[in-house]
Amino acid sequence: MKLTIIGTGYVGLVTGTCFAEVGHHVCCVDNDDAKVKMLQSGRIPIYEPGLEELVQKNAAAGRLSFSNNTAEGVAKSDVVFIAVPTPPQPDGSVDMSFIERVARDIAAAMTDYKIIVDKSTVPVQTGDKVAETIKRYCKARVDFDVVSNPEFLREGFAVEDLMKPDRIVVGVRTQRPVPALKEVYAPFNAPIIVTDINSAELIKHASNSFLALKISYINAISVICEATGANVQEVANGMGMDERIGRRFLNASLGFGGSCFPKDLSAFIKIAEQLRYDFGLLKEVQKINAAQMDRFVKKIADTLWVLKGKKIGVLGLAFKQNTDDIRTSPALELCHRLQKEGAILRVHDPKAMEKAKADLHNVTYVDDMNEVAEGCDALVIATEWEEFKKLDLERARKSLSHPIMFDGRNLFDPQEMERLGFIYKSIGR
């Protein structure tokens, strides 16, 4: 099929590339000229495993192209996906101006029937507003359908999640666009759920909020574990074996971050408020998440007593593993908190150091993870990178003035760390 994607952020770029990979002809549109040029030259502006190779392969095969012209994209395809940012506003509500702008641009360019598919995460009832806008601004007065098709990919695993989705959600106002959407997704061999448009929009916010709730739940359990000498990982394993609960997203940590969970939680709370429902449950999820960071900082301060002038090594700056994304990163927040207390930091991240440099100043960026502990009073794990598990612990122990490690991601076994001579403090164990 011929498909156009407006917006080449995480969702747009990965979606467009994977659509091309399964054989569709895809035009990705972005209004950022520099980004379009970069993509046209086969490079990508983010780190995402496997993505750059797929972009190059599909561009070379003539199935994937990039343009800065929405009208050109709309003319080329029957199905147009919107994948532009929906950033938070200061009060937590969603800034819909990018979606509205794109809806108007699409409307202005339409000369025949189009299916306009919203992939961005939006408040429930956005589909109706997009449809109204298109109707208002479409001079050609042609037929169209608006569809909601939320994306559930995780950064760092985006290609994998897109190529092998658990489910495809298609929310429609009429049945007319359903066969086309089924054709788009047929190569992915995943169950397709067709719902009304409001339900599809809600599925996205409800899913992300539930996952955040799962993390805050296990983080709350971690507090009980610390107070009683239980081990949160054992508890999570035991809970997770119940198929109704499941083990995933039950890893206790210094808190969740990223460009989705914090923003989607605030947005969902705000949406509920506008619908006159006080979503206290989700407010508690936010509270637990914030408290988890406070508790971790306190743990470090209580152990080291005075932080002013202390040298601390920090492993991890990205908000999670396999990405260079530092947006709302708990690791960066931790660095800022430690700096505020007067600590001197040596930091390392396998992929996020370049992006971190714009936000985190007056620290030493260290290229080799095994050199971070050099001359430090303590070492902190802030991001769950797999490769941190391969840290040379013997060298780290010798490099530290005192062998103290704070692990905000529970990467190591407490007994083993004690055996190796570390004072090892993790989460809920």
Q: Which residues from 364-403 bind ligand UDX, rule CB under 6 A?
A: 384
Q: Identify the CA nearest to 9 among candidates 42, 32, 37, 40.
A: 32
Q: Identify the CA nearest to 332 among candidates 320, 315, 318, 349.
A: 318
- Strand 344-348 relative to strand 192-196: parallel, antiparallel, unpaired? unpaired
Q: Report, in this order, helix, strand and coil percent for the chain, each rounded to 5.
A: 45, 15, 40
Q: What minimum distance in Å lies between the beta carbon of 251 and ligand UDX?
A: 3
Q: Which residues from 320-349 bind ligand UDX, rule CB under 6 A?
A: 320
The values of phi and psi at residue 94, to 5°, are -95, 135
Q: What minimum distance in Å lies between the beta carbon of 233 and ligand UDX?
A: 11
Which of 19, 144, 296, 319: binder of ligand UDX (CB under 6 A)?
Answer: 319
Interface region with ligand UDX, contact rule CB under 6 A, candidates 162-170, 244-252, 269-277, 341-349: 244-252
From residue 192 to residue 211, what is the string marking binding to ligand UDX with x (rule CB under 6 A)? ----------------x--x
Which residue, 246 or 280, is less far from ligand UDX as judged by CB?
Answer: 246
Q: Which residues from 245-264 bind ligand UDX, rule CB under 6 A?
A: 249-251, 253, 256-258, 260-261
Q: What minimum distance in Å lies between the beta carbon of 366 and ligand UDX?
A: 22
Which residue, 304 or 356, is less far from ligand UDX as judged by CB?
Answer: 356
Set 27, 28, 138, 260: catalytic member: 260
Which residue, 154 or 173, is less far from ligand UDX as judged by CB?
Answer: 154
Which residue, 102 or 215, is less far from ligand UDX as judged by CB?
Answer: 215
Number of residues that bind ligand UDX (CB under 6 A): 20
Torsion angle of alpha carbons 242, 245, 246, 247, nearest 10°?
A: -100
Which residue, 6 or 332, is less far from ligand UDX as judged by CB?
Answer: 332
Q: What minimum distance in Å lies between the beta carbon of 257 and ligand UDX?
A: 4
- Strand 144-148 relative to strand 168-172: parallel, antiparallel, unpaired? antiparallel
Q: How many CB atoms within 10 Å of residue 387?
A: 10
What three-state secondary structure class fits 254?
coil
Residue 376 is among the residues annotated as catalytic for this protein: no
Question: Using the rule CB under 6 A, is 155 a contact of ligand UDX?
Answer: yes
Q: Are 203 and 169 in contact (CB under 8 A)?
A: yes
Which residue, 377 or 384, is less far from ligand UDX as judged by CB?
Answer: 384
The residues near 266 (Cβ < 8 Å, ≥ 6 apart) are 88, 92, 93, 286
Which residue, 144 or 319, is less far from ligand UDX as judged by CB?
Answer: 319
Q: What minimum distance in Å lies between the beta carbon of 238 and ligand UDX?
A: 15
Which residue, 292 or 399, is less far from ligand UDX as judged by CB?
Answer: 292
Interface region with ligand UDX, contact rule CB under 6 A, candidates 106-114, 153-161, 268-276, 398-406: 153-161
From residue 47 to residue 76, what is the string marking binding to ligand UDX with x (rule CB under 6 A)? ------------------------------
HSE, side-chain direction, 13 A CA sphere, residue 76: 24
Angle, vertex CA 277, rays to CA 273 and CA 279, nearest 5: 85
What three-state secondary structure class fits 164?
coil
- Would you mind telling me the total number of residues written for the chain in this entry? 429
From residue 210 to residue 229, what is the string marking binding to ligand UDX with x (rule CB under 6 A)? -x---x--------------
Task: Quote the CA–CA distance of 147 and 115 in Å, as a whole number.
Answer: 7
- Indicate the DSSP class of residue 386: G
Q: How many CB atoms within 10 Å of residue 252?
A: 27
The values of phi and psi at residue 423, to 5°, are -90, 110
Task: Quote the CA–CA distance of 224 and 12 in Å, as a whole number.
Answer: 41
Q: What minimum distance in Å lies between the beta carbon of 199 and ligand UDX?
A: 17
Task: Quote the CA–CA distance of 14 and 155 in Å, as a whole number.
Answer: 10
Q: Which residues from 79-118 bind ligand UDX, rule CB under 6 A?
A: none
Quick one: CA dihedral 321, 326, 329, 333, positive or negative? positive
Q: What minimum distance in Å lies between the beta carbon of 119 and ligand UDX?
A: 10
Catalytic residues: 260
Q: Could you list the residues that contact ligand UDX (CB under 6 A)?
A: 151-155, 208, 211, 215, 249-251, 253, 256-258, 260-261, 319-320, 384
